[in-house]
Amino acid sequence: MATKNDPYDVAMAAEENVSRQYFGCMTVDTWFCVLEKGVGKRQFDPATDTVGSRKTAIQMFLRPVTIARFTDVIQRDMIAEFGKDWLRVTRPSMAALGLDLHTIHNAWVEVEMVQTGTYTNKAGEEKPLTTFKIIRVFPNETAANTAYDAYYNGGGQAAATPAAGSYQPDGTPTNGGNGDAQRVVAAKFLPALWKMAGGDIDKFVTGIAKNPVTSRYFDIDSPEVVAVIAPAPERPF
């Protein structure tokens, strides 16, 4: 009788594990393209191509953290208008964290490589198709390195969220500790929300409340919010 405690039985029943966590810096490039038979993707030409043929190409690159054993850049190419990768996995995972392609560019993140299908390579072998699922964002590479170390050297467990602390207007902890890493990241969204509100405080507060990242930490009385609305004057010395 097969048992999960017998490595012989487990090996015989094992399936390829195509999901894996990576930690690194995400960069993004997007451009309009046309999908042409026999050519593939090419640059969209508004002078000769119809708007109906225009698609949006998305290229995402993950550069692993410096302490990672695997250091090659991971690239995924997607088309925004269709496909299981962008529409069903990557975009929803970004939206759940209050991110978009602008805010995730140059962000330090944890991603899970999720299988979306299979393909056959030139050798006739069936291989998994995977894409990025964004799990967490970090304020800097140091925090991403710490999370990587905790995950791979701590039994596969993600690093615990640091205790909350006090913060400077730019989201930097003032207590000398790590502070709440997620609050630090959330504070970086405030200037963009203020700009989107066009200087209207009511719209700014509404934007903070609607954003799933900032709404967890800030309201009109938060010092980070006050600092964005009325930044302290520069000192003359």
Q: Say whether pTM exceeds 0.85.
A: no
Q: 97 with 213: CB under 8 angstroms?
A: yes
Burial of 217 (0-12, 13-18, 19+ CB in 10 A): buried
Q: Is residue 136 domain-shared with residue 63, that is, in the same domain?
A: yes
- CA–CA separation, 90 vs 101, rounded Å? 11
Q: Is 236 a member of any domain?
A: no
Same domain as 136, residue 25: yes
Pick from 9-23, 58-72, 156-170, 220-234: least confident: 156-170
Q: Is residue 130 part of a domain?
A: yes
Q: Are residues 58 and 112 in the same domain?
A: yes
H or E element at residue 59: strand 55-64
In angstroms, the CA 36 to CA 57 distance is 13
Kindly state whether residues 174 and 74 are assigned to the same domain: no
Does residue 204 sit within a domain? yes
Q: Is the pLDDT of residue 132 over 90?
A: yes
More confident residue, 107 or 156: 107
Total domain count for the chain?
A: 2
| Helix or strand (DSSP H, E) at 143 | helix 141-153
Domain range enclosing 184: 165-229
The answer to the question of residue 58 being in a domain is yes
What are the b/e assignments for 79-112, b being 16+ CB within 10 Å?
A: bbeebebbeebbbebbeebbbebebbeebbbbbb
Predicted confidence (pLDDT) at residue 3 exceeds the cutoff of 60: no
